[in-house]
Amino acid sequence: MDRNFAENLLNINGSETQYVTYADFEQYNIGHIDSTAFGSFNNLQYLSLEFNLIITLDPYTFNGLSNLQNLILSNNKLTTLMNYAFNGLSNLQSLG
């Protein structure tokens, strides 16, 4: 994806996303993540969203990422974590 990715990360869906295990969205200027953005990333194990502009994590932001082990959110502008933002992350081992 282009580094000039818009401020929103919305509905990245497609037949290929089910095979992705590693995703790095570092420095993409992401300001908001839709609650359905990662719904098709069933096998994702590592997700980096560091150095973005994320202020709030809405409920069910990471819904569907039951295989995720590492989530990197450092160096954002996070001020609000809504209830259930991390719902479904049953295999999460590292949050940074």
Q: Break the chain into its structural domains and give their ranges.
A: 1-9+19-96
Residue 11 has pLDDT above 80, yes or no: no
Instruction: Give the separation between CA 28 and CA 91, rounded to whole angstroms.
Output: 26
Check residues 63 and 9 and name the one with the higher pLDDT. 63
Structure tokens belonging to residue 11: 């509905």
Least Cα distance to 41 among 59, 15, 7 occurs for 15
Q: Does residue 17 surpass a pLDDT of 90?
A: no
According to the model, what pLDDT value does residue 9 have?
A: 56
Q: pLDDT per residue over 30-67, tens digit each?
A: 998 888 888 888 899 999 999 999 999 999 999 989 99
Kindly tell me the burial class for residue 96, based on how many C-beta atoms sit within 10 Å of its own C-beta (0-12, 13-18, 19 or more).
Answer: exposed
Contact predicate 46/21, CB 8 Å: yes
| Secondary structure (3-state) at 19 | helix
